[in-house]
């Protein structure tokens, strides 16, 4: 039978207020009394009634996290650090996956709100005024990472545009004069939220615009591997392939090598994200690292700060750096 805080107080011969101080490590009682209450609570298997506490205190100590993709290691790494920070601050996490389905994303947001979460961290695929209005009506703190919704909703990520601009200059500095930019999500422009791919594409275009000697093209079709192979085979000069994420870079690397094209001897490849599985790939992939663990930690900490009523910036950029390895 479940033991309540009232019964625990009776067993210890103290008030419920004293039990609350002991269980929540608050001042106002002696160390001897605190240890006695904790000992009796452990002996009787006492567990706090979070539902009852939420009715009294007005919060549930729970957060919702909505991701559109868990197969990309960047998001699983981010979630691990987010959960660790939230747990450190006493919060439990509901994780839901929209699988790039906008209707499902909206359904999950409603479900999290029905469960009275104190706040939501969101990597959205939806966009537009209706979606922004939905989030505004939720009346709980919301923070976004990855794709941005609007300037009214706090956002944590890197400066994608400048990161890709730096990548183009890095490639040019290696002596390459021909670059293929691979970004399959660009084909969904106007259909779903692709804020990150769009920012990275803008960075690529801006970097190339100041280097007229640099031949460049963009591949964004669904059959991007075959398109890249064809461009590589047609080129009379060694190419560099810059991919908008490491996942695409690894696919390109594997596909080219399966067709007898050696990296980096015949073509150079660079990715973006620095996902952890790169430690097990040969040749080691040149990429952009943006401290994904820090993004997860900051997102959780800032969301909790907002729940507490503290002000947080509308945009937070985490530093990034180019990791120069063997694939260029």
User: For residue range 17-68, what is the model confidence (pLDDT) as tens digits?
Assistant: 888 888 777 888 899 888 888 888 888 877 766 555 555 566 789 999 999 9
Q: What is the pLDDT of residue 4?
A: 80
Domain residue limits, the chain: 5-48, 60-158+292-320, 160-289
Q: In the structure encoding, which two tokens stand for residue 122, read together?
A: 């969101």
| Range name among 9-18, 126-135, 188-197, 226-235 with the lowest pLDDT average | 9-18
Q: In the predicted model, what is the mean pLDDT of residues 100-109? A: 96
Q: What is the pLDDT of residue 40?
A: 84
Q: What is the pLDDT of residue 19?
A: 84
SS3 state of residue 54: helix
Q: What is the pLDDT of residue 56?
A: 54
With 90 as the cut, is the pLDDT of residue 245 above it?
yes
Q: In the predicted model, what is the mean pLDDT of residues 262-285? A: 95
User: Which residues, including other chains, have CB under 8 Å from residue 96's CB and lie 6 or more apart?
Assistant: 64, 65, 66, 67, 108, 111, 112
Q: What is the pLDDT of residue 257?
A: 96
Q: In the structure encoding, which two tokens stand for residue 274, read together?
A: 């620095």
Which CATH superfamily does the domain covering 160-289 fall into? Response regulator (3.40.50.2300)
- Tokens 């050696």, residue located: 262
Q: Give 199's pLDDT tier (boundaries 50, 70, 90).
A: very high
Q: Give the Cα separation of 63 and 222 in Å (integer).
A: 35
CATH code, 5-48: 1.10.260.40
With 80 as the cut, is the pLDDT of residue 202 above it?
yes
Burial of 94 (0-12, 13-18, 19+ CB in 10 A): middle
- The fraction of the chain above a pLDDT of 70, given in percent, is 96
CATH code, 60-158+292-320: 3.40.50.2300
Query: What's the whole-number average pLDDT of the chain?
Result: 92
Q: Give 71's pLDDT tier (boundaries 50, 70, 90).
A: confident
Burial of 285 (0-12, 13-18, 19+ CB in 10 A): buried
Q: Give 260's pLDDT tier (boundaries 50, 70, 90).
A: very high
Burial of 3 (0-12, 13-18, 19+ CB in 10 A): middle
Q: In the structure encoding, which two tokens stand for residue 226, read together?
A: 């075959």
Q: Do the domains spanning 60-158+292-320 and 160-289 agree at the CATH topology level? A: yes
With 90 as the cut, is the pLDDT of residue 235 above it?
yes
Q: What is the pLDDT of residue 148?
A: 96
With 80 as the cut, is the pLDDT of residue 192 above it?
yes
Contact 68, 125 (CB under 8 A): yes
Q: What is the pLDDT of residue 34?
A: 87
């Amino acid at each position: 039978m479940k033991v309540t805080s009232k019964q625990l107080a009776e067993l210890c011969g103290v008030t419920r207020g004293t039990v609350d101080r002991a269980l929540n490590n608050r001042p106002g009682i002696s160390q001897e009394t605190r240890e006695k209450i904790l000992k009796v609570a452990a002996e009787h298997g006492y567990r706090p009634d979070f539902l009852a506490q939420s009715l009294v205190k007005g919060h549930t100590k729970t957060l919702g996290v909505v991701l559109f993709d868990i197969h990309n290691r960047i998001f699983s790494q981010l979630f691990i650090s987010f959960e660790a920070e939230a747990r450190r601050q006493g919060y439990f996490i509901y994780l839901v996956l929209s699988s790039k389905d906008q209707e499902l994303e909206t359904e999950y947001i409603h479900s999290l709100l029905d469960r009275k979460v104190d706040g939501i961290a969101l990597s959205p695929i939806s966009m537009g005024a209706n979606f922004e209005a939905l989030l505004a009506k939720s009346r709980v703190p919301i923070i976004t990472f990855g794709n941005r919704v609007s300037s009214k909703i706090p956002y944590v990520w890197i400066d994608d545009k400048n990161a890709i601009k730096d990548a183009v200059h890095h490639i040019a500095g290696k002596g390459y004069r021909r670059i293929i930019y691979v970004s399959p999500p660009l084909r969904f422009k106007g259909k779903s939220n692709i804020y990150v791919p769009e920012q990275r594409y803008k960075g690529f275009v801006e970097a190339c615009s100041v280097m007229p000697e640099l031949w460049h093209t963009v591949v964004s079709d669904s059959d991007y591997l075959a398109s890249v192979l064809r461009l590589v085979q047609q080129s009379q000069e060694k190419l560099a392939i810059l991919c908008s994420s490491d996942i695409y870079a690894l696919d390109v690397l594997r596909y080219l090598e399966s067709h007898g094209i050696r990296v980096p001897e015949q073509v150079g490849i660079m990715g973006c994200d620095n996902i952890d599985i790169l430690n097990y790939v040969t040749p080691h992939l040149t990429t952009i690292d943006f401290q994904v663990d820090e993004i997860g930690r900051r997102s959780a900490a800032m969301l909790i700060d907002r729940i507490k009523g503290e002000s947080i910036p509308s945009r937070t950029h985490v530093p990034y750096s180019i990791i120069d390895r063997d694939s260029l």
